[in-house]
Structure 1
Amino acid sequence: MHVGINSLSYGLAALAFLALAGLLLGGWSRRRHAGALLLACVCCAAWAALIAADAGGVAGAARWVDVMEVARNAACSFFILRLLGYPRPDARWRWVGYCAGYGAALLLALLPGWRLAQAESAAGVEGLALAWLLAMRTVMAVAGMVLVEQLYRQKDAQSQWAVKYACLGIGGIFAYDFYLYCDAMLVRQVSADIWAARGVVNALTVPLIAVAVARSAAWPSGMLLSRQAMFHSAALLGSAAYLLAMGGAGYYLRYVGGNWGGLIQVGFLFGAMLLLAGVLFSGTFRSRLKVFISKHFYRYDYDYREEWLGFTRKLSQQTPGPAERAIEAVAQLVESPGGALWIWRGGERFTVAAQCRMTVPPAAASGGAPDEDAAFRQSIERNQWVIDLGEPLQRAQVPAWLARLPRARLVVPLMLQDRLFGVLLLQEPRSALRLNWEVIDLLKVAASQVASYLALQETTTALMTARQFESFHRMSTFIVHDLKNLVAQLSLMIPNAKLHLDNPEFQQDMLDTVEHGVQKMKLMLQKLQRSDAPEAAGPVELGPMLARMVAQMATLRGSATPQPVFRCDEPGLSVTAAHGRLERVLGHLLQNAVDATPRDGEVALRLRRDGEQVVVEISDTGQGMTPEFIRERLFKPFESTKAAGMGIGAFESREYVAELGGRLEVQSVPGRGTTFRVVLPAWRAAEVPAIQVAA
């Protein structure tokens, strides 16, 4: 009796799916995802036809029933995945391979030699094989229902209207399979009535799927599942699979280990947990997993909302410095561990502004030759390219000092109003990076934001410096007032001196007053003395000036140590400068070196020529300075580590050296000492007329 019912039930299902397949091949061939649905219909029709043929006594049909059921489930799941937005169009052939592998794995796992096409053939079967087969078929049904639930839950109201009948139809197929196999697992056999009704149930789902096809114009072409949820789900699923495999391996070790089995199992599981924790906390693993998910499950590589929120959040942090935060914000977009940032300063060279988990050698800290840097800047401003140093042709376009830095990968220009503000170098990312249009556009937008952010920071700093100078001048007004009081006191003594000059007590009081006033005025003048009329520039011979400074230092210090040692490699070296201002700059640097050096240390002063430039080196073996102090505080006005210092000496020295067309370089190692290097253009006789005319 059941043979005839089975043939009729499954024959009806086969005809229904064949009719839907015919519609898809005909007028509905251009419907969205018609190919995936056609594949599912063909597999369903073939599966139902094989069961009907087997029930009708057709020889050889039974051996293919289980194979086609697996194919039917895989095809229906693939159709749901297409509605979810899988696979990505640019990786279609790769997904064909994945689907083939998926089908092969299911066949190997679910076909241990038993078949369920006839209820009678499975009614009395006992053993692990049948239990395994029923459990795996149940898992397949659950997986299908989960996909259907995800499809419906992740859509908005309009999308749910379009897919709800597809969810009802295919979800009904998987739900009935779940009911069938759960019942079989409970009673250890397949119910003949439930098996026979299965064909009719599948046939009833066809009209629902057909209605869904009629609404296919509104079917979604992408998915709405967030990347964070996908990332954590993938990590959780992978961890669960790993722990399941390790648990099985541990159980096997305990089974074969004899008396040592328990110890071996515990040690093995603990080691497996440590390995899993190491992998999950690995930045490289997380980076590669994110790339894999973005590459195979999403149309775009980035979730721009999350990326922009993270980028803005990083820039808004309090620490570290603004430039370091800018590097970290851009680096996290491409999973780079760090980099360095150079700013175009002075109109002629690059200067390193910050480093983030990357060490820039001193040779690259101030760029390269001015001509080379200027040519590179012009090229960047003209093309505004993001340069991939992994490509030999692009690598040849950057200066040698930038290209040879270790693990350098990307050079990102920081453009501000079509002008180059600086360049950002990023190290090799943790995962493989494909520099396509999406990555380039994202880096350009982020770099533009960083340039505006850093320019605003520099403008704010300049405004604060100007206000500090304004406060300094305001303070000078009060000091001038004190000077006027001192002058008034001294002026009062002049008429009194004419009357009481012979009085010894008056003489002593006058001397005390004059001495007090002189000392107070000297102290104020040391801080405030500035010449209103600028000193005329001219040739200044550095050898005699430096020798005189060292001699004066020795006279003032007497037997105190350390005593500066002067070395002149070439006599007669001269530069074009104002004698007084240059002497004040060099004297300030020398005095700082002496103050920073302990009594048993050494201070050396050296004068030498370097091509067309003259170099004055002032070295000491003092406590040294950290790179952060040099970058953030050394040349900042009104920042001083001395109790009585005003914090403008180093700032004034650098500004005047730059005004002369030179540069002030600093090289310091904490605990080992510091070297200040003043590099100035050498004086030439042809410059004299121009200087005289300017004077």
Structure 2
Amino acid sequence: MGAAAMVAGVSHGLCALAFAGFGALVLANRRARNGQRALLVACLATALWAAALALRALGPALPAPWTVALEVARSAAWLVFLALLLVPAGLPARRLLAAVAVLTALQLALGELTVDVAAAAPVAAAAGAAPAYTAAPAVAVDMPVLAAITVRLLLAVLGILLVEQLYRHTPVRERWGIKFACLGLGTLFVYDFYLYCDALLFRRLQPDLWAARGVVDALCVPLLAITAARNPGWKLGLTLSRQVAVRSAALVGCAAYLLAMAAGGWYLRRVGGAWGALMQLAALVGAGLLLAGVLFSGAARARLRVFISKHFYQARFDYRDEWRRFTQALSEGGPIPGERAIQAIAALAESPAGALWIARDGGRLEPAARWNMPAQYGTEPLDSPFCTLLRERQWVVDASRPWPDGAQPGVELPAWLHGVAQLWLVVPLLLHGRLFGFVALARPRTEVKPDWELFDLLRLAGSQAASCLAHGELADRLAVARQFESFNRMSTFVVHDLKNLLSQHSLLLANAERHKHNPAFQEDMLETLAHSVRKMTGLLQRLSRSDPAGGDVARALPLADVVRRAVAAYAAARPCPLLEAADEQLVADADDQRLERVLAHLLQNALEATSPEGSIRVVLRRQDDAALIELRDTGIGMSEAFVRDRLFRPFETTKPAGMGIGVYESREYIRELGGRLEVESRPGVGTTFRVILPLHRATGVVPVAA
């Protein structure tokens, strides 16, 4: 016996001892004894397989079929153990176990074939026997052996997939109890995958890799022991979703149906003689059409879901899945919100139709939406006994049995509600303790017995739907309120402009008695009236919907002309504003009427705050890369607190007839132009307003004709 054989024997011997000891510990643990037969079988099979390979390497060779059978048992036992962990109690792992059975059967068949074909070749170990450690490290592998290696490679891949699924589907809070087992079993299958990939790639089995297999498997035992200590019962809290169960049942049913139809078609062809082929094709096509009709039938799908819920699950609903579908139905686009709410609630009870009533301002529940149901016209007062009962008791009313057993509220369903087609359930929509509305559902496609679980789910869904519908109605009301707010704001600005014009006209009337024979006063009065007419015309244009530009178009505007017109409008005022300097080269992008209205408002404020003996001075000059319009008066001034907290706040004013909107509007428009409005004031000294505007383009000058 060579050194290589000794290494292989010791390696697999350690593996046998490790798994035998771990199996004994699991068997001695009473908490893990019940329901863990698969784990004990897997440990026993691994221990026997490793012991057989150790004996084959160290002592007399065991028959090759024994080693093949033991490796088949070892691989299949671990796969079955993982498959059972992935399936909830009471539901057989048909597909997983079927895959394991097919692959193990192929492994047995190919293993026996390989032994027969390569009985004298040392590479027969690829089929399960330990390799003969001779001087030849690599011998060509024939096709049957390659087939056996491929099957074992597929078993390793299946094991890796099952380990990954076990870890992925274990709840996060419970993974601490299963992660080391996943690491150990994953190592076991990954090493097998590496071993047989190497054999398949190089068409030979590497003796060193085969010898180390026992030690690698033995290293997995401590990881399994940690999991057994943390989770003796191996209870992972895994569940199979109803969606997977329904689809699996549908696929199994379809497969069985198609196999039956195929068998029937084959029989018709065998016994039909000349008509056999025709009868076979007609039977297969007819069976396919029948199957498609069943699959597209909502009633058939509903019956399947009810059957699975009754016979495979303790709870009737998969609440996570149901709530996900419900919230998705409420939030997705498509029909109106009321119709979406009906569909979402109806889907919970398998109902095909429904109608919605919502409480309106008149104190009555009125029809608001319908789905697959004729138009409804009945209404119900919010203070009626029926609505009061829905609000206080929060009952989901079954039309065939309105009140729960033992309850006698003395209230009947409204007469008009009996006229609703196929009425089945009335689901109240409660919001903050008040009745927001209710949904009337039609009878389902299949027999669904309403019970407390369905009622609780519908009651909770009704509250959520009421919240979403109320949010939608509040959004609609807010949009209407914003429209009114915009209209009121526009009206406020219009009234403010009219007030300024009225102030100018009042000033003219006050001075007309004394200066009406003065030609200069007459000229100023005519200019003021013309200016007022222009402003009124512009105001009407902005209010007119026929003006597409709204009378507010920013363009390259010579600022000197705007400032000069604004000052000239107050030529008859006392004190008379004085334009000290105006840089004719300054140009800014603005609307002339709005900018003139800003300056007019600032001048009007200065006039109202300054005595006739005071002064108002206006300057237009350049300041760096901007135009500066400065208005200084010697009026009563404002305090620092007033400027900071109240001056630019809308509807804040100290004037008896003021509206408090002018300075706010002026600042907002200057900001729209990219400029700013600055204020400097001292009580008893005066106020200075500075309008700073960015210049037009890069030059900020008026083009001069050659």
Give the structure-2-normalised TM-score.
0.45
Larger Rg: 2
Give the structure-1-normalised TM-score.
0.45
